[in-house]
Chains A and B, each alone.
Chain A
Amino acid sequence: MRFRWSWLQTGIGPWPIENALMETTTFTSQLLQYLITGLTIGSIYSMVAIGFNIIYNVTEIINFAQGEFVMLGGLVMVTLHTVAGLNLLIAFPLAVGLVTLIGVLLDRLAIRPIRNPSVLTLIIATIAASILIKGAAMLIWGKNPHDLPAFSGRDPISFFGAVIQPQYLWVFGFLVLIVVILTLFFDKTIAGKAMSACADNPHAASLVGINVNRMILLSFILSAAIGATAGIIITPISLMEFDRGAMLAVKGFAAAILGGLGSFPGAVAGGLILGLIESLGAGLISSGYKDAFALLILLALLFFRPSGLLGNAQVSRIKRF
């Protein structure tokens, strides 16, 4: 609706025809630019949301340290790639590996030792962990933002009047890669199926011989690895500093809720939609209220579909949280 309105408006203005035509092309390219930017930001939200979902599915807890994984991914990569001078191809998996190790430690040191855990205690443990990680990151990397060189240069690509940073393509590419790998993992491997079983019913899963504790560990490993990947690929676009994690966690959490907590395609859709709303809202309506639009749509959706866009109402009724 909005598009047609502005389109017509430029047509009836006092300008000559060519001018009006030019105006419309700039508007289409503007719109295209909003879409591209929205999808890029949305891809990052999606990755954070996927991380939330994997841990939520197996443990029913919201891991508030999820944003910290993203931040760590970016900053560890800065140290390995820029400071230590390691090649991108070596530094990338190494950085993901190190952050994954922190994910393992989080499970072993903060989650598992809690006796008679209630969901709430576990969530509080993840909040404590996020504060600890953030503080440690501040001491290690300092308070200034850090930069990474873009993976394939910074020369923007022109696309029908819109501009694409090469790094945007890496962001899209990694989202697709993560989706493909996770789909294969959950559908084709025993471990993946066992994890899905834990997600459906942990008690029944342990009855048929699935080691639920190991599945929880695996969920932390996956989440940390995906978070770290998101952090590494976003740093060349937006820089990274020690306290960036919280904002990304909030946005990722909103995306997970929007898509339906626990739903894997929901997380991808939720993130992309959130990114698009922000970008289109900022461009077409008002940039000051872009976060408010996202929240309004989230609230409206939860009003009509409490289980989220692609969430399953019956499943969410069984969950304790």
Chain B
Amino acid sequence: MRVDKFSLCATVVLIGALILAGPAAAIKIRAVFSVTGPASFLGDPEKKTAEMLVEQINAAGGINGEKIELIVYDTEGDATKTNLAVRKLITRDKVCAIIGPTRSGSSLAVVPLIEKYKIPQLSCAANYKIVHNEKTGKPYKWIFKTPQSDGLAVEAIYAHMQKRGISKIALLSVTSGFGAGGRQELLRLASQYGLTIVADEKYGPKDTDMTAQLTKIKGTAAQAIVNWSIGPVQVTVLRNWRDLGMRGVPFYQSHGFGSRKNIELAAGAAEGVFCPLGAMNVAEKLPAGHPQKQVTMQYLKDYKAKYNEPLSSFGGHAWDAIHMLVQAIQTAGCNKEKIRDNLEQITGFVGQHGVFNMSENDHNGLTKDAFQMVVVANGDWALAD
């Protein structure tokens, strides 16, 4: 028994020593990404990007000589788990700032927590309500986000339709947070662009076939289809569209389609499909004078060299978040109030998904010009005119 007690004490002392001896001056950043689970294809590139960037920054001497300590928590795409993780890293890890979460549902779920504990957060999720307090009509004080809001993607798509003389459209959306958020914006903005919605169809995130929904649309006068979903369903729906011989009805995907993997999986069905994407997805195709040409090409090169896999649009959101945060920390250190103020004052930040101009009334800082309309041609993206 004595021995047991002794070893217990020894362990406690040892752990204590380890904690004290840990890197004393490190800037603690925590990221919450859905690395596994249904949205893992979003969270995985975000995690890889964040880790790569922190490695780069630390190798170059950190921020003002202080190293960044980044730990990525896995939310499994689950709002409850995100909430628990965020609570833990605020109360126990005592972080300077939070990156993520990945999904809109999870991000909305932690809004009250962030506001209560006053931690600067850079969300990597799309829904505009993350940075828009509906009660005050202003952004939440402590929350920023890097991905373009759904509304901007919708505007980019609608503007393109208007240019092509389309007036009647059919909507397709998945019954998840992403699909529902997009659908809401599609419905809200249609009249501003002179568009009539003649069909509004939905499908489940794990459905095997959307032929029924498309057949219904085929029977309407729709001149174009907008689909709002992520994951395998956005590929299946394209195949069904092709098989039903509906190529004559132009197909617009959301910015969630932003991975070359999807073109590959569509097995030819993606040809001619339109989609609004951030500049980083078409880095090679951008004209030399484009403001984002340099940063996007650099990211592309680094990511490919390190992970040897195609770049995903979602990793770019983490890139923007990390770099803006680092810029804010430069002068603020770990002073949360100051980090927040610095984030709000960011202007002309050239990122992967656009040029950010934050302000008191805009914690996203992007306009619809952050999207390039892209068309799939010969199995690759091409800039659409």
A residues lining the B interface (CB < 8 Å): 26-27, 30, 33-34, 36-38, 40-41, 44, 138, 143-145, 147, 149, 154, 156, 162-163, 165, 234, 237-239, 241, 243-244, 246-247, 278-280, 282-283, 286-288, 290-291
Contacts and interface: CB of A to CB of B under 8 A. Distances in A.
Contacts of A41: 208-209
Identify the 6 closest CB pairs spanning chains A and B, nearest first. Answer: A238-B208, A143-B40, A247-B206, A145-B232, A288-B202, A37-B211
B219 A26 contact: yes
B213 interface: yes
B232 A241 contact: yes
27 contacts: A26-B218, A30-B218, A41-B208, A143-B41, A147-B265, A149-B267, A154-B239, A154-B243, A154-B268, A163-B211, A163-B243, A163-B244, A234-B208, A237-B208, A237-B236, A238-B209, A241-B232, A243-B38, A246-B206, A247-B204, A279-B211, A282-B212, A282-B213, A283-B215, A287-B201, A287-B202, A287-B213
A190 B19 CA distance: 68
A154 B208 contact: no
Contact of B209 (A147, A237, A286): A237
B297 to A, nearest CB: 25
B381 interface: no
Contacts of B236: 237-239
B36 interface: yes
A282 B214 CA distance: 10
Interface residues of B, number: 34
Contacts of A145: 231-232, 235, 265
Contacts of A244: 206, 232
Contacts of A287: 201-203, 212-213, 216
Contacts of B239: 154, 237
Contact of A154 (B38, B207, B231, B267): B267
Contacts of B208: 41, 44, 234, 237-238
Contacts of A241: 231-232
A87 B268 CA distance: 22
Contacts, number: 100
B232 A156 contact: no
B175 interface: yes
B44 interface: yes
Given A30-B215, A37-B212, A283-B213, 10 more contacts: A30-B216, A37-B215, A143-B36, A143-B44, A147-B267, A156-B244, A244-B232, A279-B212, A282-B213, A283-B215
A156 B212 contact: no
Interface string B213-256: 10110110000000000011001100100011100000000000
Nearest to B244: A163
Nearest to B205: A247
Interface of B: 36-38, 40-41, 44, 175, 201-204, 206-209, 211-213, 215-216, 218-219, 231-232, 235-236, 239, 243-245, 261, 265, 267-268
Most buried by B among A30, A36, A37: A37
A246 B37 CA distance: 12
Nearest to B40: A143
A149 B264 CA distance: 12
Given A37-B211, A145-B235, A283 B216 contact: yes
Nearest to A149: B267
Contact of A37 (B37, B44, B209): B209
Contact of A34 (B37, B203, B215, B267): B215
Contacts of B175: 288
Nearest to A150: B267
Nearest to B199: A287
Given A156-B243, A165-B243, A282-B201, A34 B209 contact: no
A34 B209 CA distance: 11
Nearest to A162: B215
Contacts of B232: 145, 238-239, 241, 244
Nearest to A147: B265
Contacts of B37: 243
B266 to A, nearest CB: 9
A237 B201 CA distance: 20
Nearest to A234: B208
A33 B212 contact: yes
A280 B38 CA distance: 28
B167 to A, nearest CB: 20
Contacts of A30: 215-216, 218-219
A165 B211 CA distance: 10
Contacts of A37: 209, 211-212, 215
Nearest to A156: B243
Nearest to A165: B243
Nearest to B245: A163
A131 to B, nearest CB: 12
B212 A38 contact: yes
A44 B208 CA distance: 10
Contacts of B216: 30, 282-283, 287
B142 to A, nearest CB: 31
A290 B36 CA distance: 28
A22 B124 CA distance: 49
